[in-house]
Amino acid sequence: MPDVMIVTGGSRGIGAATAILGAKAGYAVVVNYASNRDAADDVVATIEADGGTAIAVKGDVGVEADIVAIFKAADELGALKALVNNAGIVAEAADVADYDLARLERIFRINVIGSFLCAREAVKRMSTKRGGAGGAIVNLSSAAAKLGAGGSRVDYAATKGAIDTFTVGLAKEVAGEGISVTAVRPGIIETDIHASGGEPGRVAEMAASLPLKRPGTAEEVARAILWLASDEASYSTGAILDVSGARAILP
Ligand code: NAP
């Protein structure tokens, strides 16, 4: 049975790049998606064309029953070795004074609670105390966790701050159970997420102001994720790696 990697939100952007590199590294990959079946199928086809193994599994990480179903589908493929808690959303830019409850509940449910529940399912399977063989969980934080995103998306930044704390806490909790828990904090990465937040031109507008004068690519983030998930990172549990081209590095 192959080692399995689940990538939530594996159909596009950073998740798609991670799924493709994960398959190259030898994992059988569960490419989770929310609604874009064609994009997920494209990722699976790319992996299969390269001789890898992958399945597309629909499921909303904001819904507990969907998460349970994603992990059951993974169980059919092999033993879970890596979870990449990648699925995440942004909302349109707005001041905190104008947020409504539905906005806050949605973003915290998907970005934070979804990551907790996926990690719960992963720990149940990986923990050496529970009969598992160990594994790795890599969470997607954001440079926004440090910057705060005041004046646009404080809610999003706060969900990523929660992911940072979750990463450190869970890393300590399962350190004796063969499970590594880490995170990456990407900066401005060229994906669809900016358009989904109502700002399709954001990356191009910001490029000149970034330290490297360009955004990052999904693959540049995926490489860091794959390293953190690998045995090469055997003493890095609890680490949160900035992949931001020097944006949001505090002195
Ligand atoms: P993206 O291009 O917008 O892709 C989002 C992916 O997540 C898609 O595969 C989408 O599936 C899936 N998804 C969305 N909501 C979901 C849900 N409720 N359940 C399951 N899957 C869901 O995003 P991205 O830019 O690659 O971002 C990936 C992660 O990196 C996020 O956690 C984001 O916060 C973080 N990040 C991104 C940046 C950046 O600049 N891009 C910077 C810092 C952090 P469908 O295809 O089915 O819609």
| Residue spans per domain, the chain | 3-243
Give exposure, 175-192, as e/b (b: 16+ Cβ within 10 Å). Answer: eeeebbbbbbbbbbbbbe
Tokens 């720990």 — which residue?
123
Can you name the residues that pair with 137 across neighbouring β-strands?
83, 181
Q: Which fold has domain 3-243?
A: Rossmann fold (3.40.50)
Catalytic (active site) residue 156: yes
The pLDDT tens digits of the residues spanning 66-83 come to: 999 999 999 999 999 999
DSSP codes of every residue in 88-134:
--------GGG--HHHHHHHHIIIIIHHHHHHHHHHHHH-GGGT---
Residue 248 is predicted with a pLDDT of: 77
In this structure, what token pair is assigned to residue 93? 């830019």
Can you name the residues that pair with 30 across neighbouring β-strands?
6, 55
Number of Cβ within a 10 Å radius of residue 102: 8
Q: Assess whether the C-beta atom of 14 lies below 6 angstroms from ligand 1.
A: yes
Tokens 């719960």 — which residue?
120
* pTM > 0.95: yes or no: yes
Distance from Cα 206 to the centre of ligand 1, integer Å = 20
Distance from Cα 129 to the centre of ligand 1, integer Å = 32
Q: Assess whether the C-beta atom of 89 lies below 6 angstroms from ligand 1.
A: yes
In Å, how far are 22, 114, 121, 168, 181 from 172, measured between CA atoms? 25, 20, 17, 6, 8
Residue 25 is predicted with a pLDDT of: 98
Ligand 1: which of 58, 193, 203, 219 to mutate, most ligand atoms within 8 Å of CB? 193
Sheet with strand 53-58: strands edge to edge:
53-58, 28-33, 3-7, 79-85, 135-140, 179-186, 240-243
Q: Assess whether the C-beta atom of 86 lies below 6 angstroms from ligand 1.
A: yes
The pLDDT tens digits of the residues spanning 112-158 come to: 999 999 999 999 999 999 999 999 999 999 999 999 999 999 999 99
Distance CA 15, CA 225 (A): 10
Does residue 101 register a pLDDT over 70?
yes
Distance CA 25, CA 31 (A): 15
The pLDDT tens digits of the residues spanning 207-251 come to: 999 999 999 999 999 999 999 999 999 999 999 999 999 997 765
Distance CA 159, CA 109 (A): 9
Q: How far is CA 78 from the centre of its chain?
A: 21
Q: Give the closest residue (by CA) to ligand 1 atom 3.
A: 193
The pLDDT tens digits of the residues spanning 167-214 come to: 999 999 999 999 999 999 999 999 999 999 999 999 999 999 999 999
The pLDDT tens digits of the residues spanning 32-53 come to: 999 999 999 999 999 999 999 9
The bridge status of strand 3-7 relative to strand 179-186 is unpaired
Asked if 221 contacts 243 with a C-beta cutoff of 8 angstroms, the reply is yes
Asked if 142 contacts 185 with a C-beta cutoff of 8 angstroms, the reply is yes
* Ligand 1 atom having least distance to the Cα of 160: 34
Q: Give the closest residue (by CA) to ligand 1 atom 10.
A: 9
Residue 43 has φ and ψ, to the nearest 5°, of -65, -45
